[in-house]
Amino acid sequence: MAYGNRFRYADSDALAPLGIEVPRATWFGGRMTVLTRGSEIFRWWVRQANTVIIGLQRLGIAFGPQYLITVPGRKTGRPRTAAIAVVPIAGQRYVVQAYPKAAWVANVRAAEQVTLSRGRRSSVVKMVELPVAERRPLLRDCIADSPRVGKLFTTSGLVDDGSPDGVAAAADRIAVFRVEPT
């Protein structure tokens, strides 16, 4: 079955007796995309939701714990904006990585300061990455307070077990930043 000149996929039913599994191809955003895992589908939906959140935040509509983080790209230096959740825990504000290989995490590690925006307000802050030993109790408390976050970590592929202890055990794979004023 051919899709234009660039995409050619075999019929999965014909290859099934041979033990060859062909991923399903679907149309997303005007281009053919092959989805092989549930986390990839989830990641696609998150990107679409983040586009909407960024647009609403830029219009001045703030909701939930959502903020926009603007940080210079580590390679180009151009400002990059992403939607993140700033979570208050024990009187401090924290940002927790929710998805593997998030580009904003690498950019924040390389930057000295970032801009956090919420609605029409923005502030320049410093984000300090916590050592793994400090992340464990914080992640355990975060998941104990909101079990849905543990399910999010499991769905995104960061952890295998979404329980408080399972997420705390995976603290070396989950970046946690403390938001500090400059």
Q: What percent of the chain lies above the pLDDT cut of 90?
A: 35
Q: Which distant-in-sequence residues (6+ apart) come within 8 Å of 47 by Cβ?
A: none
Q: Which distant-in-sequence residues (6+ apart) come within 8 Å of 13 by Cβ?
A: none
pLDDT in tens, 14-51: 545 555 554 554 444 444 444 445 667 777 877 888 88
What DSSP letter does each residue of 141-169 carry, written as one string? HHHHH-HHHHHHHHHHTS-S--SHHHHHH
**In contact, 22 and 9? CB cutoff 8 Å:** yes
Query: Whole-angstrom Cα distance, residue 33 to residue 27?
Result: 6
Residue 10 has pLDDT above 70, yes or no: no
Total Cβ atoms within 10 A of residue 66: 18
| pTM for the full predicted model | 0.71
Residue 163 has pLDDT above 70, yes or no: yes
